[in-house]
Amino acid sequence: MTADVLTPLLPGVPLLLGLIGLVLRPGDKRSSQALGIAGAAIALIVTIVLLAVVDEPVEVTHRWVTFGDLPVTLGFSLGPAALYVAVAVAVVALCVQVYSVAYLHDDTRYAPYAAQVSLFTGAMLLVVSANDLILLLLGWEIMGVCSYLLIGHDRRLPEAPAAAVKAFLVTRVGDVGFLLGIAWLGVWAGSFRISDILAHGGVPTVALLLILAGVAGKSAQFPLHTWLPDAMAGPTPISALIHAATMVAAGVYVVFRLFPLFAQSPAALAVLGVMAAITLLLGALSATAQDDLKRVLAWSTVSQIGYMTGALAVGSPAAALFHLLTHAAFKALLFLAAGAVIHAVGSNLMSRMGGLREHMPVTFWCFVAGLGALAGVPPLAGFWSKENVLVAAAHATEGDGPAPAWVGWVVWVAALAGVAITAWYATRLLLYTFFGHARSRTDEWHAGFSDAHYEGAPGVPHDPPALMRWPVLLLAVPAVLLGLAAFLPGFRSALELEPPHLSVSIVLPLVLLMLGAGSAWWLWHTGPGVDPARALGRSRPLFAAGFHLDKIQNLLVVRPVRAFAGAVRLVDEKVVDAAVEGAGTSTTRLGTVLAAAHRAALPRAAVAVFSGALLLGVVAAIYGAAS
Amino acid sequence: MTVADALLLALGAIAVGSGALVVTSTQIVRAGLYLVVSLGAMAGLYLVLGAELVAWVQVLVYVGAVVVLLLFAVMLTRAPIGPSPDLDRPAWPALIVGGGVGVGLAALLVDAFRWTIYAMPVPGTTDRMGAELFGSWVLPFEVLSILLLSALVGAIVLSRPDIGAPKKTEVEV
Amino acid sequence: MHAVIPYVTAALLFGLGVYGVLRRRNAILVLMAVELMLNAVNLLLVTADVTLPTPGGHRGGAFALFVIVLAAAEVGVGLAIVLQYYRMRSAVNVDEVALHHEPEAG
């Protein structure tokens, strides 16, 4: 019974507190901070209680409304896997709320920020716990709105509104497919409840492909990934919550929930696999050439989600979910620690950083933990989850899984290449930011456009204040230890993971890891203080611009749509408005003509009268003759 | 073809012919005089048709008074005596409408009456006309007298020089 | 007698009168054409007396007398108007009669 009551509270409390927070005064810091932290904390407590208390999956259903003959229910379903994801979301949300208190201490509009973060948390928990596709869609869309509002939060930044609109529009394109997919599934199964849909026989491949469009949008997969690097214009805690740990993982979670259907459709899995492989390599290569610290992490997120979708494509949802959890931990850690670095140095650009190891030891070791987990260094968390993905891909190449064998090959090769490239850029980031001499102390440092919003010259860099330090340290714990949870049978059975076996198959990834890290270290060793990315040579601008996909998107989509919109506006002004105004002007002109006719001179009037009489006579004669 | 028919044809031709000349002549005075001829022919037609009182009243009033009035007006408005070219407006609307009316009416009447022969009426005497007038049409007769009185007064008032528009020098067109 | 002869005469005279009203520019000539039209109507009325089988009736003639009286009254008043207009404009063209009041400066 407690579970039935607690389950709707899980998304409900943060949503409610977020709505309350929206009506506060924007400058009211104390109450908004309290509400935000309370919302995340209560969600975390509820999740832990549910984990402890519950043995079998909780299901709560309540009929809500009917679309025609399709019933829509307020249905919640929390299996153990979903509960773990909920724990991850709640923990990261709590850390972000606490961190933001210090990071945005001088923000004049803190109340809407905290309220939107609470709303976002509630929406993500809704997506996690929903058993009804319409409820899931509700949470999905609320997340999109909150993401838009939060990216554009800092009104002083000129690039923030454009980034927010871009994020919203690109994900919207995916959401159209998502909505159509949901509608198709609902009509096909006769109900929107996920349990009913999974129990229905048959394979609606088109619906699954449409759902993949939404996944591509929200989870920043190729070709709808272009919004994520630009979304770094939002405050860093937001990047940690939304764009690393939760929202971008929502797409992966949806495929995980609907996986029994996906498993029966080789076509959908093939599309997913190709998308994953391209995204993986695209993200990793673009991350190697970035100068902006947050952009490296953004492209890295794109690449890591490619791992998750790749795991789904080769038929192992457990591996995908495991990587999702570890990624939430280490990516949030990295973003929050990056926020500390940016806060200390006063710039996002790595070319202005350097030599921070002596001044910021705590942050440095947290970065080591996070980047190690990212690269997959054993025994950190990322190593175990990436191993699972690689093993699943290797098994799929034998062709007896739900995915075709060639998909397994594509994903496996891309994932292996990704290991090397990830290690390379992770090492580069660590070395370039924390080692060498402090570049920001040189005379070449001057206020540029991207750090124009940091007032005043920075003092000596130091470790962040307590409120920023403790969330980072807290997240470092699962980043290091979460991988070992795979040895716990309870965790394993919840995710349906295979027991970890350390066989010969770990050699190849480890070799690639050392290759990547080693080459970056060697470049640094031979040229200390020089950006290792110089070695990329001619391909550096290509990678830095994300393979110019932004430009292509602009050319193929944005410009034609703008031209079309201009044409529609022209038609509206020249045709529709002209018709409406023309009705008025033509009536006036007709009136003037008739008035002139009334003022006709005497002879003309006489002609008119007589010809009228003649006409009437003729008509009467004809009529009389006819009848 | 009886005598009556021949007379009707001849007088009708004179009436129509001089009527045509009235509306097409280029000299005003000649138009007035052609009107006299036409009205006289009409009086003859009335005589043939047996309406003697009407015929003589036509001669007295129309020919004697109306045409004289018109000619007086011609003289008082200093109308050009000889031929003048600018007496006419464009011809085509008048032709279309006038021609249409005339031909249309004629067609209508021909279609109605064809070549039917009617008996000649008994020649009307003043006695019978008087009986008709003062028997059935007394009220219109009296109203007409009042009308004539008001027309008389109106004409006098309208012709007074001290009413109406101001002098020409103060009026701008 | 063939009654169609005076009828057609009347019709043609009426048409000539309409032609004259629409064609003539001088007001007095217009009045002359109006007289033609009235005469045509009179002829129609008188001929109707013959063709209509009303026993002992002279209604057409009576009507014709009334029309003659009306025509006389009309000509009197009309010519008075014409003369008054002549005093204002020293011309009697119907073309130039301003029936409306022009607004200031067009």
Whether residues B97 and A603 touch (CB distance < 8 A) is answered with no
Answer whether residue A449 shows pLDDT above 50: no
Task: Compare all CA atoms of chain B with the CA of A604 and give the residue at the minimum distance.
Answer: B93
- The B residues from 93 to 122 touching A (CB cutoff 8 Å) are 93-94, 96-98, 100-101, 104-105, 108
Question: ∠A358-A359-A361 over CA atoms, to 5°?
Answer: 70
Q: Of chain C residues 42-101, which have a CB less than 8 A from chain B? A: 42-43, 46-47, 49-51, 57-62, 64-66, 68-77, 79-84, 86-90, 92, 95, 98
Percentage above 90 pLDDT, chain A: 34
Q: Is the dihedral of CA A102, A104, A107, A112 positive or negative?
A: negative
Q: Each residue of A160-176: pLDDT tens digit?
A: 898 999 999 999 999 99
State whether residue B97 sits within 8 Å of chain C by CB. yes
What is the tens place of the pLDDT at every residue in A470-492? Answer: 888 888 888 888 888 777 877 77
Domain ranges of chain A: 265-442+461-533, 552-626
- Our CA angle for A63, A67, A68, nearest 5°, is 120
The amino acid at residue A448 is G
Q: Is A557 strand, coil or helix?
A: helix
In chain C, the domains with their CATH numbers are 4-96 (1.10.287.3510)
Q: How many helices (H) and strands (E) does chain C have?
A: 3, 0
Q: Do A310 and A397 touch, CB atoms closer than 8 A?
A: no
pLDDT tens per residue, range A411-421 = 999 999 999 99
* Contact residues, chain A to chain B, C-beta under 8 Å: 603, 607, 610-611, 613-614, 617-618, 621
A15-27 per-position pLDDT tens digit: 888 888 888 888 7
DSSP string, B41-85: HHHHHHHHTT-HHHHHHIIIIIIIIIHHHHHHHHHHTT--SS--G
Return the exposure string of B130-145: e unless at least 16 CB atoms fall within 10 Å of the residue's CB, then b: eebbeeebeebeeebe
B1-82+94-121 folds as Four Helix Bundle (Hemerythrin (Met), subunit A) (1.20.120)
Question: Residue C55 — very low, low, confident or very high, per pLDDT cuts 50/70/90?
Answer: low
ipTM for the predicted complex: 0.88
What's the pLDDT score for residue C53?
63
B92 at the C interface (CB within 8 A)? no
Which residues, 6 or more positions from B128, have their beta carbon under 8 angstroms from its beta carbon?
C58
Mean pLDDT of C77-83: 92
Using a pLDDT cut of 70, give the percent of chain A over it.
96
Section A325-346 average pLDDT? 90
Q: Where is mean pLDDT largest: A25-34, A159-168, B76-85, B112-121? A: A159-168
Q: Which tens digit of pLDDT belongs to each residue from B14-33?
A: 999 999 999 999 899 999 99
pLDDT of residue A443: 45
Once rounded to an integer, what is the mean pLDDT over residues B105-132? 85
Report the pLDDT averaged over residues A107-114.
88
In sequence order, the 6+-apart residues with CB closer than 8 A to the CB of B117 are C1, C2
In whole angstroms, what is the distance from residue B62 CA to residue B69 CA?
10
Asked whether the beta carbons of residue A614 and residue B101 sit closer than 8 angstroms, the reply is yes
Sorted by where each begins, the domain ranges of chain B are: 1-82+94-121, 125-160
CB-based contact C24 B87, cutoff 8 Å: yes
Higher pLDDT, A71 or C12: C12
Name beta bridge partners: A132.
A193
- Chain B residues whose CB is inside 8 A of the C19 CB are 23, 94-95, 97-99, 102
pLDDT band at A458 (very low <50, low <70, confident <90, very high): low
pLDDT at A109: 86
Q: Is the pLDDT of residue B157 over 70?
A: yes
CB contact under 8 A, A603 and C94: yes
